[in-house]
Structures are given as C-alpha cells and as structure tokens.
Amino acid sequence: TQLLEQSPQFLSIQEGENLTVYCNSSSVFSSLQWYRQEPGEGPVLLVTVVTGGEVKKLKRLTFQFGDARKDSSLHITAAQPGDTGLYLCAGVTYGGGSQGNLIFGKGTKLSVKP
C-alpha cells in the first residue's frame, strides 16, 4: 500500500512568518501535486512537480520534489492571512492498472493570524 505522510498536521503562525510543509513516502511517484482546499470547496491544484530535484515557485510558495521522487516540500515565505487553508500533497501512482490515480496525504491545516 502506498502512503504519503504529511507533516505537520496543524500549523498556526503569525503573519510574516515562514513555514515548510513536508510530504514523505517510501514509494516512488511519477509526479507529485500540491492542492489547497478552503472550507466547503474542493481542492484546487497549486502545482505539479514531475522531475526528481525539481523546484517550482509560485509567488511566495516554493515547491520541491525530492531527487528520488519519494518526497516533496512546500515552503511559504512571509505568510499572509490569505494563505490560510488546508494544504494537500498527492502522488500520482506509477504503472500498473491504477496508473494516474492520486494518493493523498492527510493534509496540513494552516492558520495565519494577522
């Protein structure tokens, strides 16, 4: 069974602080995706990383895919209250009949206080 361990589960910080969310697995994924979900809504795709060692930036958010394609991190610089939400990592399964399906971490609930 493929699992994605996401940490921390909860994070409460002040506006302007930096933070990092981690996503780890013993399995190799063909790609890894990060989603953000707000209450009452579905997850919204932030970024997809596909190459080992890849780094992508989206404004104040930096995403990294591990060299072995088993782990990823999301770093937010100078967090703002608008960053509040549930952040989910999801790995795309590699090969076999279920290729293309997502394995989700349990999420990191981020609260940024003004």
Partner 1 sequence: NAGVTQTPKFQVLKTGQSMTLQCAQDMNHEYMSWYRQDPGMGLRLIHYSVGAGITDQGEVPNGYNVSRSTTEDFPLRLLSAAPSQTSVYFCASSLYSGFYGYTFGSGTRLTVV
Interface with partner 1 by CB under 8 A: which residues?
30-31, 33, 35, 40-45, 48, 50, 88, 90, 92, 97-102, 104-107
Six-digit token pair at 13? Answer: 């910080």
Q: Per 3-state DSSP, what percentage of the chain is helix, strand, and coil (rounded to 5)? A: 5, 50, 45
Q: Smallest distance, Å, CB 92 to partner 1?
A: 5
Nearer to partner 1, 16 or 53 (CB): 53
Output the CA torsion sign for 56, 82, 38, 77.
positive
Q: Smallest distance, Å, CB 37 to partner 1?
A: 8
Nearer to partner 1, 75 or 106 (CB): 106
Tell me which amino acid residue 51 is.
Answer: T
Q: Smallest distance, Å, CB 103 to partner 1?
A: 8
Nearer to partner 1, 14 or 106 (CB): 106
Nearer to partner 1, 18 or 30 (CB): 30
Tell me how many degrees the CA angle 10-85-60 measures, rounded to the nearest 5: 100
**Burial tier of 86 (Cβ tally within 10 Å: 0-12, 13-18, 19+):** middle
Q: Smallest distance, Å, CB 78 to partner 1?
A: 26
Six-digit token pair at 28? Answer: 């190799």
